[in-house]
Amino acid sequence: MTTDATHLSRSALLFLARKPGLEEVAMRLRPFRRLASRFIAGETLEEAVDAVRALSARGLMASFDHLNEAVQTPEETREEVRQYQRLLARIDAVGVRANVSLKLTQCGLLFDEALALENARAVVAEAAARDSFVRIDMEHSAVTQVTLDIVRQLRAEFGEPHVGAVLQSALRRTEQDARDLCAERIRVRLCKGAYLEKPDVAFPDKRDVDASFVRAMRVLLDSGVYHGIATHDERMIEATLDHAAKQGVPRGAFEFQMLYGIRRDLQERLVREGHPVRVYVPYGRHWYPYFMRRLAERPANLTFLLRNLVRG
């Protein structure tokens, strides 16, 4: 597929990811669900726990993510809080090496910023009481600043070991954000980003996204704070290992992070080499937007999906 065609496919998939009316249709299509199961660890908490047990047996850590970007009422946001409180309790009971990732849109960010902070605070408080950790996920650029503001407030309240942020190298602001967060000793997950953004806020060219990733990665590794380098790109992994070796950053001073269902071979190779690896484990009924973003990252998956839809 040409670069232009790939960009067009990715843009189309990201556009469709924002169409909630398509979710009900997609969930009724067996081939769609079958392909989604490659990236989603199930629709229930117990299915996700079983998936994390299997990861743990392979020497991998995990970060649970309950998928639900469609909350619209305060009560729905509070149910998300209860879901995360149950999840943190289940992690304790099972004893797996795992923490949780939380999107502020699940907490009501799009309609009530104060409520979002209140709900996120309740989740982080539960994590802190259990000596666990909450990663506040990053979403589209319209909420980048408010998300980082909330992370900063929670970090001030609960401390470094219990809450962290995510930065996307696709955004032009990320290198400076990395410097600022490191100065405040806020833990960061660095990823490339999977949202459709305008060129004035994000790099349209993959080469620039990669270069931004490397610059931000170097800032993170040089900071002395424990961060997560989230990528399946072997060039980015080698750049990370090379910089760590040159700067004397020891193994265990940071971790690699990858998505559930992607590059299992690479996950296991890094573990064998002694590097901590955490797998992002999404679960829940509302998997459609997340799944479409995964398709957009590798449009070749769309060919597989369409072939199976034709076969029925």
Taking the C-alpha atoms of residue 107 and residue 81, their distance in angstroms, rounded to an integer, is 7
Taking the C-alpha atoms of residue 207 and residue 111, their distance in angstroms, rounded to an integer, is 36
How high is the pLDDT of residue 2?
44
How high is the pLDDT of residue 21?
58
Nearest CA among 107, 100, 34, 123 for reference residue 308 = 34
* Catalytic site includes residue 189: yes
Tell me the binding residues for FAD: 138, 168, 192-194, 206, 231-232
**Catalytic residue selected from 137, 155, 187, 278:** 137
**Catalytic residue selected from 121, 187, 189, 278:** 189
Strand-pair category, 61-66 with 187-191 = unpaired
Report the chain's mean pLDDT, rounded to a whole number.
88
**Domain ranges within the chain, ordered by starting residue:** 1-40+285-311, 45-283
Tell me the binding residues for substrate: 103, 293-294
Taking the C-alpha atoms of residue 104 and residue 139, their distance in angstroms, rounded to an integer, is 8
Distance of CA 303 to the CA centre of its chain: 25
* Catalytic site includes residue 233: no
Task: Give the pLDDT mean for 165-194.
Answer: 97
DSSP 202: B
SS3 230: strand
How high is the pLDDT of residue 195?
81
pTM: 0.86
Tell me the binding residues: 103, 138, 168, 192-194, 206, 231-232, 293-294
pLDDT, one tens digit per residue, over 128-166 is: 999 999 999 999 999 999 999 999 999 999 999 999 999
Which stretch of 1-5, 151-155, 196-200, 288-292 has the lowest confidence by average pLDDT?
A: 1-5
State the architecture of 45-283 in CATH terms. Alpha-Beta Barrel (3.20)
